[in-house]
Structure formats: structure tokens, C-alpha cells
Amino acid sequence: MFNKIIFFIFILYQFNTFSQECNTPLLLLHLDVNKTLIAEDQTAGQSLEFMIASEIAEKTVHQWEPNLPPMSYADYVRKILVPGATTKEIKEKRKKILRNFINILENSDHPDKNAIIAQYYTCIEKMEGRYLIPSFVKFLCILKEQKAAFRIILRTYGNDIRLGKVTKEIESVLDGDRFFYRGSFKKGTLKIKGMDSMRKAEEIYLFFRDTIGHVAIQDDWKTWLKDNKRRRSGKPFIFDPADKEILSLFFDDNINSDPDSEFGIVNLLPINESEVSSSLLHKLYLRKVETIEAILDEDYFLKLIKI
């Protein structure tokens, strides 16, 4: 497994041309949509400006009141300004405050406020006139240029798949490659339009491995939420560590960095028993996307496939 990843990274970074006949793995790229590939949240009606401001607020730590310990501004909003269970009303109150975060920061005594505000405007500038995050576009272009074998499998809790804008944007970048299948997961069962439902893990894996074109999947948000966002009810990620012809990776901005936590957005489901620890499987197959870094660094997705 290590050799496959190292070899593929070597190809990307050395920019050596290779053909489909070379013994390189087929990349199965499972990709979240919101804040992973695009810098806005269509399903929640959140603008680019709000998304970038709220993401920066998650990372901007300061002592916002004299008697409080340092915390991120987002935590300050959740815990101090608008505490309580996350109801629709509370969510809207928090959003209203976060929309004004840059102005609040500008009037604060945060020692790094000028650099943070500059970062915000740089992100806005880099995304101007774009829908897909630029580092992801560059990643796709390099895969195409190097004739790498890969398949995109979009995995979203939102309605982006039905809207079709994301798939059209990706198809435009790939210039010829198409999304041939669209479907959904419901309580672990994969339903693809025009096909019989797939329940067995092996069957689902073989579909993703052997199908033609790219695939767009809407995941089962209601089941995950009902189970209090436990990993076991998250997005099913079925992969085979023993399949030497395939390299499966899952990219998502909400991946839990703790491999042993029962809570998480991705449910790792290896179809062959492996002696590899859960923490190593987590490291090998999952890629947490940091949205702001992905916007600022044009090589972000290339670097992200490194171990």
C-alpha cells in the first residue's frame, strides 16, 4: 500500500508522462462538495463571503472578554454570545454575528488582525469568478495531463447533486469526461438511478471500481443526524486494502482527526480484513480538507495526497 501511494506521488511531482498501460493504480477519489470543492454552502444559502469569514472565525483565537480564556471567535459565539442547543433560531442568530466577523475583528485588539483581514480579502480575490476551489482544478488538470486513471465519486449531504452545477463545472474542467451515474445512499444501501439497489459492501465497491465515467452520490444526512453524527452512520467509504490495482481516498472538510472517536462524518468500511490499525487506515485513506488553505495554496490538493 505504501509503495502504491509513494509511486503515484512520485509520478505527480516529477511530472513524468505515463500511459494507461503503465502499472499505476486507478484512483477512486471520494470527494465531499461544500467547503471541500466549492467555497460556499448552497444547501444553507451561505455566500462566499460568509463561508470564508466563518472559516477564519473558527481559527482566530483571542481573549474576547477580560474574564474569559482564549478561544476561537466561532466558539465564543457558540458558547458565550449565543449558547444553547442548535435550533434553527439559534443557528440564524449565530450566522448573523459571524457575517459581521471581519468588522468585529477590525475593531478588536487582536494582535494579528491586519494579517487575518488581509487573508480574508486574498481568499475573496482568489475565488473571484470561480466556483470550484482553484487548487482542486489544478489537481484535476495535472491528473488529465499525466493521463492518470482516476474516477471522481462526489459525496454530499446537500442537494448539489440534484442541482447539477458541481458536476457541470467538473465536466468543463475535464473536457470530455462525464458523470454517467447519479444516486444516493439510504441506510447503507446504494441506489443508482436505473439500476437495482446495492446492499452488499463488495457489490458497492465493485460498482465504484468497474463503472464508466464519474459518479455523483447524495449521502444519508438524516440517518447520520438521527444517530448524533456517529461515525457508524456517516458516509459509507468502502475500500479494499488488498486490491493492488486501486487506490481509494476520501476528501472531506469535516473529517474527525481522532481515528478512535465514535463520532465522525466518514464510516471506514474495508471489505477485506486487515492487520493495519484503525489509526493507520485513517491516515492512509482519509484526507481532511482545510478550506482556507485549499483556496490560498494552489498546490494544496497535490500536497494532500501525501501521507
Kindly report, residue by residue over 99-128, the tens digit of the pLDDT: 999 999 999 999 999 999 999 999 999 999
In a domain, 121, yes or no: yes
Whether residue 186 is contained in a domain is answered as yes
- pLDDT at res. 165: 86
Whether 4 shows a pLDDT value over 80: the answer reads no
Residues 27, 173 within the same domain:
yes
Same domain for 255 and 236, yes or no, is yes
User: Model confidence at 163, in pLDDT bands (50, 70, 90)?
Assistant: low
pLDDT tens digits for range 139-151: 999 999 999 999 9
Please work out, in degrees rounded to the nearest 5, the angle formed at the alpha carbon of residue 200 by the alpha carbons of 198 and 205.
80
Classify 264 as helix, strand or coil. Answer: coil
Q: Give yes or no: residues 69 and 178 share one domain.
A: no
Whole domain around residue 205: which residue ranges? 2-37+132-290+297-304
Domain match, 33 and 52 both: no
Same domain? 138 vs 241: yes
In a domain, 230, yes or no: yes
Last residue of a domain, one of 127, 159, 177: 127
Final residue belonging to a domain, choices 127, 155, 182:
127
Q: Do residue 120 and residue 63 come from a single domain?
A: yes
pLDDT for 14: 37
Calpha distance 5→24 (Å, rounded)? 10
Positive or negative: CA dihedral 77, 78, 81, 82: positive
pLDDT at 7 exceeding the cut of 70:
no
Residue 40: pLDDT over 60: yes
Q: What is the pLDDT of residue 63?
A: 98
User: Do residue 193 and residue 79 come from a single domain?
Assistant: no
Residue 42 belongs to a domain: no
Residues 93, 84: Cα–Cα separation, whole Å: 12
Residue 274 has pLDDT above 90, yes or no: no
Percentage of the chain beyond pLDDT 90 is 78
Residue 22 reports pLDDT greater than 80:
no
156 and 52, same structural domain? no
User: Is 156 among the domain residues?
Assistant: yes
Give the Cα-Cα-Cα angle 113, 117, 121 (nearest 5 degrees): 170
Closest by Cα among 255, 260, 263, 264 to 289: 255
Average pLDDT over residues 71-88: 95
In a domain, 43, yes or no: no
Count: domains in the chain: 2
Q: Please give the residue that has the higher pLDDT: either 288 or 87.
A: 288
Q: How far apart are CA 37 and CA 187, in angstroms?
A: 25
Which pLDDT band holds residue 89 (cuts at 50, 70, 90)?
A: very high
For 277-284, what is the mean pLDDT?
A: 88
Question: Quick one: 205 and 220 in the same domain?
Answer: yes
Give the range among 41-55, 170-184, 283-297 with minimum mean pLDDT.
Answer: 41-55
Same domain assignment for residues 281 and 191: yes
pLDDT tops 50 at residue 271: yes
Per-residue pLDDT tens for 206-258?
Answer: 999 999 999 999 999 999 999 999 999 999 999 999 898 999 999 999 999 99
The pLDDT of residue 306:
73
Task: Tell me if 22 is assigned to some domain.
Answer: yes
Task: Report the pLDDT averaged over residues 269-288.
Answer: 86
Domain boundary among 98, 127, 156: 127
pLDDT of residue 180: 94
Residue 162 pLDDT level (bands cut at 50, 70, 90):
low
pLDDT band at 17 (very low <50, low <70, confident <90, very high): very low
The answer to whether the CB of 262 falls within 8 A of the CB of 230 is yes
| Residue 155 forms part of a structural domain | yes
- Identify the CA nearest to 152 among candidates 11, 270, 27: 27
Provide mean pLDDT across the span 29-42: 89
Residues 260 and 220 in one domain: yes
Cell of 140: 484535476
Looking at residue 228, what is its pLDDT? 96
Answer yes or no: do 33 and 68 share one domain. no
pLDDT of 8 over the 90 cut: no
- What pLDDT does 6 receive? 44
